[in-house]
Amino acid sequence: MIKSILLDLDGTVYHGTKPVAGASRFVQQLKQNGLDCLFVTNRANRSAPTVCRILGEMGIECEVENLLTSAQATARHLSPGKFYYIGEEPLCQALVEGGHIPSEDNPDYVIVGYDPFVTYQKLEKATLFLRAGAKFIGTNPDKVLFTEYGIIPGNGAILAALTVASEVEPTIIGKPERVIIDIALQQLNISPQEALLVGDNIETDVRAGHNAGVPTALILTGVSSREDLAQSTLQPDWVVENFEELEELVFSP
């Protein structure tokens, strides 16, 4: 029995600053039917209050307890320690709130999230720390970002540069790894089979559900298409064109 929906954001609930048709109504219906909704996002460069405000401006109800970012998941997953980070301020904020200490003096971790202002100097420091034994953590592995003006490098591109330079492979917290999904299930206090993970990307959302043992629904509002599905060995439990079809799946007797 489904008790909670784990709902992806980018490409699923919105495209940039525009909400996907039907997303707001679906979230409202979840609440009316007594089902929890936890937004689970690979983004580490927006704080939970910021994401909630953005969703609110789109007419989608969200409180901070209804959201799990890869930055928050990273902070919860790691044992307390000193960290050097590449990323934006919300990543550092989440780590500090989680009891970790920013440091450029022999850090325990090098933690990397998407950083549009990454510099050679940041990569240089991170490489030296990694080669000195710091643990390499990536908030998410997304290789590219889809924007209104085209495809640009994502966090995976930064991770790739550091992997080549340091000869160390990162531990990934966000989707498609199960870490962020396991934390989401713990937050909701439910078993994997009591959740449904809904997302637009076979390789991140569907694979994360598969890795964590959570049923998945691929919604065709974003990255993955039916053509991608036909060529993939990884298959979701359900495929829906839009939120109208998702409503039928979730709420039909």
Domain membership of residue 60 (yes or no) is no
The one catalytic residue among 8, 36, 108, 142: 8
Domain membership of residue 78 (yes or no) is yes
pLDDT at site 1: 79
Helix (H, G, I), strand (E, B) or coil at 14: strand
pLDDT at site 253: 72
Domain membership of residue 47 (yes or no) is no
Asked whether 27 and 60 are in contact (CB, 8 A), the reply is yes
Residues 125 and 210 in one domain: no
- Among this protein's residues, is 10 annotated catalytic? yes
| Distance between CA atoms of residues 66 and 39, nearest Å | 6
Q: How many CA atoms within 13 Å lie on the side-chain side of 215?
A: 16
pLDDT at site 152: 84
Classify residue 205 by its DSSP letter.
I
Domain membership of residue 239 (yes or no) is yes
Asked whether 39 and 7 are in contact (CB, 8 A), the reply is yes
Q: In DSSP terms, which residues pair with 68 in a beta bridge?
A: 40
Return contacts of 209-213, CB within 8 angstroms, 24+ apart.
209/6, 209/181, 209/236, 210/234, 211/176, 211/177, 211/178, 211/181, 212/178, 212/181, 212/182, 212/185
pLDDT at site 212: 98
pLDDT at site 223: 86
Residues 78 and 163 in one domain: yes
| Distance between CA atoms of residues 238 and 229, nearest Å | 11
Say if residue 242 is exposed, middle or buried (CB neighbours under 10 Å; 0-12, 13-18, 19+). Answer: middle
pLDDT at site 148: 66
Domain boundary among 172, 192, 211: 172
pLDDT at site 197: 98
Residues 29 and 78 in one domain: no
**How far apart, in Å, are the Cα atoms of 85 and each of 12, 68, 125?**
28, 19, 10
For the chain, how many structural domains are there in total? 2
Domain membership of residue 55 (yes or no) is no
Q: Could you report the average pLDDT of every consecutive run of 10 residues in the chain (253 residues)?
A: 93 89 95 95 93 94 94 97 97 97 97 96 98 98 79 92 98 97 97 97 96 97 91 96 95 81
pLDDT at site 156: 95
Domain membership of residue 185 (yes or no) is yes
Domain membership of residue 217 (yes or no) is yes
Domain membership of residue 97 (yes or no) is yes
| Plot region of 215 (φ>0 → left; ψ -120 to 50 → alpha; else → beta) | beta
The one catalytic residue among 10, 108, 200, 205: 10
Domain ranges, residue 226: 4-42+175-251
Exposure class string for 124-161: b at 16+ Cβ within 10 A, else e: ebbbebbeeebbbbbbbbbeebeeeeeeebbbbebbeb
CATH number, position 109: 3.40.50.1000
- Among this protein's residues, is 8 annotated catalytic? yes
